[in-house]
Structure 1
Amino acid sequence: MADELVFYSNPMSRGRIARWMLEEVGAPYRIQWLTYDGSMKAPDYLALNPMGKVPAIRHGKAVVTEGAAICAYLADAFPEAGLAPANDARADYYRWLFFAAGPLETAVSLKAFGIEIPKERQRSIGCGSFEAVMDALSLAVGRTPYITGNAFTAADVYVGAHVNWGLQFNTIEPRPEFQAYWDRLKDRPAYLKARALDDEEMHRQLQAANAG
Protein backbone atom coordinates (compact mmCIF):
# COMPACT_ATOMS: atom_id res chain seq x y z
CA MET A 1 0.00 0.00 0.00
CA ALA A 2 1.34 3.40 -0.95
CA ASP A 3 0.24 4.95 2.34
CA GLU A 4 1.47 2.14 4.61
CA LEU A 5 2.67 3.43 7.99
CA VAL A 6 5.84 1.76 9.27
CA PHE A 7 7.29 2.43 12.70
CA TYR A 8 10.99 1.80 13.43
CA SER A 9 11.85 1.51 17.08
CA ASN A 10 13.45 -0.24 20.01
CA PRO A 11 11.44 -0.75 23.22
CA MET A 12 14.25 0.77 25.28
CA SER A 13 14.39 4.09 23.44
CA ARG A 14 12.63 7.39 22.75
CA GLY A 15 10.56 5.32 20.37
CA ARG A 16 8.16 4.95 23.27
CA ILE A 17 7.07 8.53 22.68
CA ALA A 18 6.30 7.86 19.02
CA ARG A 19 4.47 4.64 19.93
CA TRP A 20 2.25 6.60 22.32
CA MET A 21 1.52 9.10 19.56
CA LEU A 22 0.73 6.33 17.10
CA GLU A 23 -1.77 4.83 19.52
CA GLU A 24 -3.37 8.25 20.07
CA VAL A 25 -3.75 8.60 16.30
CA GLY A 26 -5.34 5.18 16.01
CA ALA A 27 -4.18 4.50 12.45
CA PRO A 28 -2.91 1.00 11.61
CA TYR A 29 0.86 0.67 11.46
CA ARG A 30 3.51 -1.99 11.11
CA ILE A 31 6.42 -2.04 13.52
CA GLN A 32 9.99 -2.96 12.73
CA TRP A 33 12.18 -3.55 15.77
CA LEU A 34 15.80 -2.50 15.45
CA THR A 35 18.87 -3.25 17.57
CA TYR A 36 21.36 -0.62 18.66
CA ASP A 37 24.55 -2.21 17.40
CA GLY A 38 22.99 -4.13 14.55
CA SER A 39 20.05 -3.16 12.37
CA MET A 40 20.10 0.54 13.36
CA LYS A 41 23.47 0.79 11.65
CA ALA A 42 22.57 -1.35 8.65
CA PRO A 43 22.72 0.35 5.21
CA ASP A 44 18.99 0.01 4.53
CA TYR A 45 18.06 1.80 7.75
CA LEU A 46 20.82 4.41 7.42
CA ALA A 47 19.26 5.26 4.08
CA LEU A 48 16.14 6.28 6.04
CA ASN A 49 17.89 7.86 9.00
CA PRO A 50 21.59 8.64 8.54
CA MET A 51 21.86 9.17 12.31
CA GLY A 52 21.27 5.47 12.85
CA LYS A 53 18.84 6.17 15.68
CA VAL A 54 15.20 5.53 16.50
CA PRO A 55 12.40 6.38 16.32
CA ALA A 56 11.51 6.89 12.69
CA ILE A 57 8.37 6.42 10.67
CA ARG A 58 7.77 5.85 6.98
CA HIS A 59 4.33 6.87 5.75
CA GLY A 60 4.08 5.97 2.10
CA LYS A 61 7.11 7.75 0.63
CA ALA A 62 7.45 10.22 3.51
CA VAL A 63 10.14 9.54 6.13
CA VAL A 64 10.12 11.37 9.45
CA THR A 65 12.68 11.12 12.24
CA GLU A 66 12.96 12.90 15.63
CA GLY A 67 10.26 12.41 18.23
CA ALA A 68 8.81 15.93 18.18
CA ALA A 69 8.65 15.95 14.38
CA ILE A 70 6.93 12.54 14.38
CA CYS A 71 4.31 13.79 16.83
CA ALA A 72 3.64 16.92 14.78
CA TYR A 73 3.59 15.01 11.49
CA LEU A 74 1.14 12.36 12.71
CA ALA A 75 -1.21 15.00 14.12
CA ASP A 76 -1.32 16.65 10.69
CA ALA A 77 -1.43 13.42 8.69
CA PHE A 78 -4.42 12.13 10.65
CA PRO A 79 -6.48 15.24 11.48
CA GLU A 80 -9.51 13.15 12.39
CA ALA A 81 -7.73 12.26 15.65
CA GLY A 82 -8.00 15.91 16.73
CA LEU A 83 -4.45 16.10 18.10
CA ALA A 84 -3.47 19.49 16.67
CA PRO A 85 -5.15 22.84 17.29
CA ALA A 86 -6.58 24.92 14.46
CA ASN A 87 -3.92 26.64 12.39
CA ASP A 88 -4.61 30.01 13.99
CA ALA A 89 -4.32 28.58 17.52
CA ARG A 90 -0.96 26.82 17.33
CA ALA A 91 1.34 29.29 19.07
CA ASP A 92 1.58 27.42 22.38
CA TYR A 93 1.44 24.09 20.56
CA TYR A 94 4.58 24.80 18.55
CA ARG A 95 6.27 26.79 21.28
CA TRP A 96 6.23 24.10 23.95
CA LEU A 97 6.55 21.11 21.64
CA PHE A 98 9.88 22.42 20.38
CA PHE A 99 10.90 23.81 23.76
CA ALA A 100 10.82 20.22 25.02
CA ALA A 101 12.78 19.00 22.01
CA GLY A 102 15.41 21.73 22.37
CA PRO A 103 16.11 23.52 25.65
CA LEU A 104 14.49 20.93 27.93
CA GLU A 105 16.25 17.88 26.53
CA THR A 106 19.56 19.75 26.27
CA ALA A 107 19.44 21.03 29.85
CA VAL A 108 18.46 17.65 31.24
CA SER A 109 21.19 15.87 29.26
CA LEU A 110 23.88 18.32 30.35
CA LYS A 111 22.87 17.89 33.99
CA ALA A 112 22.81 14.10 33.67
CA PHE A 113 26.37 14.15 32.31
CA GLY A 114 27.53 16.45 35.09
CA ILE A 115 28.18 19.37 32.74
CA GLU A 116 27.49 22.77 34.25
CA ILE A 117 27.50 25.81 32.00
CA PRO A 118 29.21 28.78 33.71
CA LYS A 119 26.82 31.63 34.32
CA GLU A 120 28.78 33.97 32.07
CA ARG A 121 28.49 31.45 29.17
CA GLN A 122 24.80 30.57 29.52
CA ARG A 123 23.77 33.12 26.92
CA SER A 124 25.84 31.16 24.39
CA ILE A 125 23.75 28.00 24.70
CA GLY A 126 20.10 27.74 23.78
CA CYS A 127 18.94 26.19 27.03
CA GLY A 128 20.55 28.78 29.29
CA SER A 129 20.51 27.42 32.83
CA PHE A 130 18.82 24.30 34.17
CA GLU A 131 16.86 26.42 36.63
CA ALA A 132 15.53 28.67 33.87
CA VAL A 133 14.40 25.62 31.90
CA MET A 134 12.59 24.20 34.94
CA ASP A 135 10.84 27.53 35.46
CA ALA A 136 9.75 27.65 31.83
CA LEU A 137 8.51 24.06 31.98
CA SER A 138 6.51 24.93 35.09
CA LEU A 139 4.87 27.71 33.12
CA ALA A 140 4.09 25.40 30.22
CA VAL A 141 2.31 22.76 32.27
CA GLY A 142 0.92 24.82 35.13
CA ARG A 143 -1.24 27.45 33.42
CA THR A 144 -3.94 25.23 31.92
CA PRO A 145 -4.86 21.52 32.05
CA TYR A 146 -3.02 20.84 28.81
CA ILE A 147 -0.32 22.62 26.82
CA THR A 148 -2.73 24.52 24.58
CA GLY A 149 -5.55 24.94 27.07
CA ASN A 150 -8.37 22.51 27.79
CA ALA A 151 -7.70 20.11 24.90
CA PHE A 152 -5.10 17.33 24.78
CA THR A 153 -2.80 17.56 21.75
CA ALA A 154 0.33 16.01 20.28
CA ALA A 155 2.36 18.55 22.27
CA ASP A 156 1.13 16.86 25.45
CA VAL A 157 2.39 13.51 24.20
CA TYR A 158 5.88 14.87 23.73
CA VAL A 159 6.08 17.17 26.75
CA GLY A 160 4.28 14.64 28.92
CA ALA A 161 6.68 11.87 28.00
CA HIS A 162 9.62 14.04 29.04
CA VAL A 163 7.95 14.99 32.31
CA ASN A 164 7.16 11.35 33.07
CA TRP A 165 10.74 10.28 32.35
CA GLY A 166 12.14 13.12 34.41
CA LEU A 167 9.98 12.32 37.42
CA GLN A 168 10.82 8.61 37.23
CA PHE A 169 14.57 9.09 36.97
CA ASN A 170 14.98 12.35 38.90
CA THR A 171 16.29 14.26 35.89
CA ILE A 172 13.87 17.13 36.46
CA GLU A 173 12.94 18.81 39.70
CA PRO A 174 10.00 17.11 41.49
CA ARG A 175 7.78 20.17 41.40
CA PRO A 176 4.10 19.65 42.24
CA GLU A 177 2.95 21.16 38.95
CA PHE A 178 4.96 18.53 37.05
CA GLN A 179 3.35 15.69 38.97
CA ALA A 180 -0.11 17.21 38.61
CA TYR A 181 0.39 17.52 34.86
CA TRP A 182 1.53 13.92 34.51
CA ASP A 183 -1.40 12.76 36.66
CA ARG A 184 -3.70 14.21 34.01
CA LEU A 185 -2.02 12.14 31.30
CA LYS A 186 -0.96 8.84 32.85
CA ASP A 187 -4.28 7.01 32.50
CA ARG A 188 -4.93 7.79 28.85
CA PRO A 189 -5.84 4.50 27.11
CA ALA A 190 -3.41 5.16 24.26
CA TYR A 191 -0.53 5.69 26.67
CA LEU A 192 -1.35 2.57 28.67
CA LYS A 193 -1.62 0.46 25.51
CA ALA A 194 1.63 1.82 24.07
CA ARG A 195 3.47 1.20 27.34
CA ALA A 196 2.15 -2.36 27.57
CA LEU A 197 3.18 -3.16 24.00
CA ASP A 198 6.68 -1.79 24.46
CA ASP A 199 7.08 -3.47 27.86
CA GLU A 200 6.06 -6.80 26.35
CA GLU A 201 8.68 -6.51 23.60
CA MET A 202 11.33 -5.29 26.04
CA HIS A 203 10.79 -8.33 28.27
CA ARG A 204 10.85 -10.62 25.23
CA GLN A 205 14.18 -9.20 24.10
CA LEU A 206 15.68 -9.41 27.58
CA GLN A 207 14.58 -13.03 27.93
CA ALA A 208 16.05 -13.85 24.53
CA ALA A 209 19.33 -12.18 25.47
CA ASN A 210 19.50 -14.06 28.76
CA ALA A 211 18.69 -17.35 27.06
CA GLY A 212 21.49 -16.80 24.57
Structure 2
Amino acid sequence: MTEEITFYTNPMSRGRIARWMLEETGVPYHTEVLTFGGTMKEPDYLSVNPMGKVPAICHGKTIVTECAAICAYLADTFPQAGLGPRADERADYYRWMFFAAGPLEASVTLKALGFEIPQERLRMAGCGSFGDVMGTLEKAVSAASPYIAGKRFTAADVYVGSHIGWGLAFGSIEKRQAFVDYFGQLSERDAYKRATALDEEAAKAMQAA
Protein backbone atom coordinates (compact mmCIF):
# COMPACT_ATOMS: atom_id res chain seq x y z
CA MET A 1 0.00 0.00 0.00
CA THR A 2 1.45 3.32 -1.05
CA GLU A 3 -1.07 5.73 0.49
CA GLU A 4 0.36 8.30 2.88
CA ILE A 5 0.02 7.72 6.60
CA THR A 6 -1.19 10.60 8.74
CA PHE A 7 -0.29 10.19 12.39
CA TYR A 8 -2.35 12.04 15.00
CA THR A 9 -0.64 12.38 18.34
CA ASN A 10 0.44 14.46 21.32
CA PRO A 11 3.98 14.02 22.68
CA MET A 12 2.66 13.51 26.20
CA SER A 13 0.36 10.66 25.34
CA ARG A 14 0.25 7.03 24.31
CA GLY A 15 1.03 8.40 20.88
CA ARG A 16 4.66 7.72 21.76
CA ILE A 17 3.91 4.03 21.32
CA ALA A 18 2.59 4.52 17.81
CA ARG A 19 5.45 6.87 16.92
CA TRP A 20 7.99 4.21 17.93
CA MET A 21 6.13 1.61 15.87
CA LEU A 22 6.06 3.90 12.84
CA GLU A 23 9.78 4.49 13.14
CA GLU A 24 10.39 0.74 13.35
CA THR A 25 8.51 0.18 10.08
CA GLY A 26 10.63 2.76 8.28
CA VAL A 27 7.68 3.98 6.20
CA PRO A 28 7.12 7.73 5.68
CA TYR A 29 4.32 9.43 7.59
CA HIS A 30 2.94 12.89 8.25
CA THR A 31 2.42 14.01 11.86
CA GLU A 32 -0.47 16.08 13.19
CA VAL A 33 0.08 17.19 16.80
CA LEU A 34 -3.20 17.77 18.63
CA THR A 35 -3.98 19.40 21.97
CA PHE A 36 -5.86 17.88 24.89
CA GLY A 37 -9.31 19.39 25.22
CA GLY A 38 -8.62 21.50 22.11
CA THR A 39 -8.03 20.14 18.63
CA MET A 40 -8.63 16.57 19.85
CA LYS A 41 -12.26 17.51 20.48
CA GLU A 42 -12.88 19.47 17.29
CA PRO A 43 -15.17 18.05 14.57
CA ASP A 44 -12.36 17.40 12.08
CA TYR A 45 -10.58 15.03 14.45
CA LEU A 46 -13.75 13.55 15.94
CA SER A 47 -14.52 12.32 12.43
CA VAL A 48 -11.29 10.31 12.72
CA ASN A 49 -11.70 9.17 16.33
CA PRO A 50 -15.06 9.90 17.97
CA MET A 51 -13.39 9.30 21.35
CA GLY A 52 -11.38 12.49 20.84
CA LYS A 53 -8.21 10.73 21.95
CA VAL A 54 -4.83 10.03 20.40
CA PRO A 55 -3.10 8.27 18.81
CA ALA A 56 -4.77 7.46 15.53
CA ILE A 57 -3.50 6.85 12.05
CA CYS A 58 -5.13 7.35 8.67
CA HIS A 59 -3.63 5.19 5.93
CA GLY A 60 -5.36 6.26 2.77
CA LYS A 61 -9.04 5.78 3.67
CA THR A 62 -8.24 3.34 6.49
CA ILE A 63 -8.48 4.63 10.06
CA VAL A 64 -6.91 2.79 12.98
CA THR A 65 -7.15 3.84 16.62
CA GLU A 66 -5.96 2.15 19.84
CA CYS A 67 -2.24 1.62 20.28
CA ALA A 68 -2.22 -2.17 20.22
CA ALA A 69 -4.33 -2.15 17.04
CA ILE A 70 -2.03 0.39 15.41
CA CYS A 71 1.02 -1.73 16.22
CA ALA A 72 -0.61 -4.89 14.88
CA TYR A 73 -1.94 -3.13 11.77
CA LEU A 74 1.42 -1.64 10.85
CA ALA A 75 3.18 -4.97 11.40
CA ASP A 76 0.68 -6.71 9.11
CA THR A 77 0.57 -3.96 6.48
CA PHE A 78 4.33 -3.60 6.15
CA PRO A 79 5.64 -7.19 6.45
CA GLN A 80 8.99 -6.16 4.98
CA ALA A 81 9.80 -4.58 8.36
CA GLY A 82 9.71 -8.04 9.95
CA LEU A 83 7.70 -6.92 12.97
CA GLY A 84 4.83 -9.38 12.72
CA PRO A 85 4.87 -12.85 14.30
CA ARG A 86 6.15 -16.00 12.69
CA ALA A 87 4.19 -19.18 13.25
CA ASP A 88 6.13 -20.19 16.36
CA GLU A 89 5.88 -16.66 17.80
CA ARG A 90 2.19 -16.04 17.18
CA ALA A 91 0.82 -17.30 20.50
CA ASP A 92 3.14 -15.27 22.71
CA TYR A 93 2.93 -12.26 20.38
CA TYR A 94 -0.83 -12.00 20.75
CA ARG A 95 -0.92 -13.19 24.35
CA TRP A 96 1.38 -10.50 25.71
CA MET A 97 0.21 -7.70 23.44
CA PHE A 98 -3.36 -8.20 24.61
CA PHE A 99 -2.25 -8.74 28.19
CA ALA A 100 -0.64 -5.30 28.09
CA ALA A 101 -3.69 -3.75 26.43
CA GLY A 102 -6.04 -5.36 28.96
CA PRO A 103 -4.93 -6.35 32.46
CA LEU A 104 -1.74 -4.27 32.54
CA GLU A 105 -3.33 -1.06 31.25
CA ALA A 106 -6.35 -1.44 33.51
CA SER A 107 -4.47 -2.30 36.69
CA VAL A 108 -1.93 0.50 36.28
CA THR A 109 -4.72 3.02 35.62
CA LEU A 110 -6.74 1.90 38.63
CA LYS A 111 -3.69 2.14 40.87
CA ALA A 112 -2.80 5.61 39.55
CA LEU A 113 -6.36 6.75 40.33
CA GLY A 114 -6.04 5.43 43.87
CA PHE A 115 -8.68 2.76 43.38
CA GLU A 116 -8.09 -0.64 44.95
CA ILE A 117 -10.35 -3.52 43.99
CA PRO A 118 -11.79 -5.13 47.14
CA GLN A 119 -10.32 -8.59 47.70
CA GLU A 120 -13.73 -10.24 47.59
CA ARG A 121 -14.43 -8.68 44.17
CA LEU A 122 -11.17 -9.41 42.40
CA ARG A 123 -12.74 -12.18 40.36
CA MET A 124 -15.10 -9.61 38.82
CA ALA A 125 -12.20 -7.61 37.41
CA GLY A 126 -10.48 -8.95 34.32
CA CYS A 127 -7.19 -7.44 35.45
CA GLY A 128 -7.23 -9.10 38.88
CA SER A 129 -4.88 -7.59 41.46
CA PHE A 130 -2.03 -5.22 40.71
CA GLY A 131 0.38 -7.64 42.38
CA ASP A 132 -0.73 -10.51 40.18
CA VAL A 133 -0.32 -8.36 37.07
CA MET A 134 3.20 -7.29 38.06
CA GLY A 135 4.17 -10.89 38.83
CA THR A 136 2.80 -12.14 35.52
CA LEU A 137 4.55 -9.38 33.57
CA GLU A 138 7.81 -10.10 35.34
CA LYS A 139 7.62 -13.77 34.34
CA ALA A 140 6.87 -12.79 30.74
CA VAL A 141 9.99 -10.65 30.40
CA SER A 142 12.16 -13.01 32.44
CA ALA A 143 11.81 -15.92 30.02
CA ALA A 144 14.85 -17.52 28.43
CA SER A 145 14.16 -15.68 25.17
CA PRO A 146 15.35 -12.06 25.00
CA TYR A 147 12.08 -10.73 23.54
CA ILE A 148 8.44 -11.08 24.50
CA ALA A 149 7.56 -13.49 21.68
CA GLY A 150 10.90 -15.28 21.37
CA LYS A 151 14.37 -14.63 20.05
CA ARG A 152 13.30 -11.85 17.68
CA PHE A 153 12.08 -8.28 18.22
CA THR A 154 8.45 -7.78 17.14
CA ALA A 155 5.66 -5.24 17.37
CA ALA A 156 4.65 -6.88 20.65
CA ASP A 157 7.92 -5.62 22.15
CA VAL A 158 7.05 -2.10 21.02
CA TYR A 159 3.73 -2.28 22.80
CA VAL A 160 4.73 -4.13 25.96
CA GLY A 161 8.06 -2.32 26.16
CA SER A 162 6.38 1.09 25.90
CA HIS A 163 4.15 0.32 28.87
CA ILE A 164 7.13 -0.81 30.91
CA GLY A 165 9.31 2.14 29.91
CA TRP A 166 6.58 4.66 30.69
CA GLY A 167 5.80 2.92 33.97
CA LEU A 168 9.42 2.92 35.09
CA ALA A 169 9.81 6.60 34.18
CA PHE A 170 6.73 7.73 36.07
CA GLY A 171 6.63 5.18 38.88
CA SER A 172 3.36 3.59 37.81
CA ILE A 173 4.85 0.09 37.76
CA GLU A 174 7.21 -1.49 40.24
CA LYS A 175 10.92 -1.05 39.50
CA ARG A 176 11.79 -4.72 39.25
CA GLN A 177 15.14 -5.66 37.75
CA ALA A 178 13.51 -7.79 35.06
CA PHE A 179 11.62 -4.73 33.83
CA VAL A 180 14.72 -2.54 33.90
CA ASP A 181 16.74 -5.11 31.96
CA TYR A 182 14.03 -5.78 29.38
CA PHE A 183 13.34 -2.15 28.62
CA GLY A 184 17.04 -1.34 28.73
CA GLN A 185 17.74 -3.42 25.65
CA LEU A 186 14.71 -2.02 23.80
CA SER A 187 15.65 1.59 24.50
CA GLU A 188 18.93 1.08 22.64
CA ARG A 189 17.13 0.53 19.36
CA ASP A 190 17.69 3.25 16.76
CA ALA A 191 13.97 3.53 16.01
CA TYR A 192 13.18 4.10 19.69
CA LYS A 193 15.82 6.82 19.90
CA ARG A 194 14.50 8.52 16.77
CA ALA A 195 10.92 8.39 18.01
CA THR A 196 11.89 9.75 21.41
CA ALA A 197 13.85 12.62 19.87
CA LEU A 198 10.91 13.53 17.63
CA ASP A 199 8.48 13.51 20.55
CA GLU A 200 10.81 15.57 22.74
CA GLU A 201 11.16 18.09 19.93
CA ALA A 202 7.37 18.25 19.54
CA ALA A 203 6.92 18.71 23.29
CA LYS A 204 9.36 21.63 23.31
CA ALA A 205 7.58 23.22 20.36
CA MET A 206 4.23 22.99 22.15
CA GLN A 207 5.66 24.55 25.30
CA ALA A 208 7.16 27.40 23.30
CA ALA A 209 3.93 28.10 21.40
TM-score calculated relative to the size of structure 2: 0.97
Per the alignment, residue 62 of structure 2 pairs with 62
Shift of 1:44: 1.5
1:4-23 alignment to 2 at 5 Å?
Answer: 4-23=4-23
Give the Cα–Cα distance (whole angstroms) in 1 for the partners of residues 52 and 24 of structure 2: 26
1:102-148 CA-to-partner distances (Å, cap 9, x unmatched) read 10011011111110001110000110000000011011111021011
What's the counterpart of residue 27 of structure 1? 27
- Residue in 1 aligned with 2:154? 153
Cα offsets for 1:168-189 (capped at 9, x unmatched)? 1111111111111011111100
1:13 positional shift: 0.8
- How far apart are residue 2 of structure 1 and its match? 6.7
Aligned partner of 1:135 in structure 2 is: 135
Which residue number in structure 2 is paired with residue 190 of structure 1? 191
Question: What CA distance in whole angstroms lies between the structure 1 residues aligned with 2:11 and 2:89?
Answer: 34
Residue 87 of structure 1: how far off its partner (Å)? 4.4
Partner deviation per Cα, 1:43-93 (whole Å, 9 max, x = no partner) = 121111010000000111110000111000000000000001124531000
Is the contact made by 1:2 and 1:61 (CA closer than 8 Å) also made in structure 2? no
Size of the aligned set, in residue pairs, is: 208
Matched, 1:162 2:168: no
> Equivalent residue for 1:92?
92
Worse overlay, 72-81 or 32-41: 32-41
Q: Distance in 1 between matches of 2:168 and 2:10?
A: 22
Equivalent pairs: percent with the same residue? 63
The one-letter code matched in structure 2 to 1:49 is N
The answer on whether the counterparts of 1:7 and 1:31 sit within 8 Å (CA) in structure 2 is: yes
Aligned CA distance change for structure 1 residues 2 and 83 (closer, same or farther; 3 Å):
closer
For normalisation by structure 1, the TM-score amounts to 0.95
Q: How many angstroms apart in 2 are the aligned matches of 1:8 and 1:87?
A: 32
RMSD (Å) for aligned C-alpha atoms: 1.2
Q: Does structure 2 retain, via aligned residues, the 8 Å contact 1:106–1:127?
A: yes
Q: Which amino acid aligns with 2:207?
A: L
Q: Please tell me the residue identity of whatever aligns with 1:182.
A: F
Kindly indicate whether residue 21 of structure 2 is the aligned counterpart of residue 49 of structure 1.
no
User: CA 1:80–1:92 in structure 2 vs 1: closer, same or farther (change >3 Å)?
Assistant: same
The answer for the alignment partner of 1:82 in structure 2 is: 82
Counterpart contact for 2:5–2:59, Cα < 8 Å: yes
Name the SS of the counterpart of 1:6 in structure 2.
Answer: strand
Structure 2 runs not aligned, ≥5 long: none
Task: Report if the CA contact (8 A) 2:89-2:150 is conserved.
Answer: no
Change (3 A) 1:31 1:53: same
Contact kept, 8 Å, 1:14 with 1:67, in 2: the verdict is yes
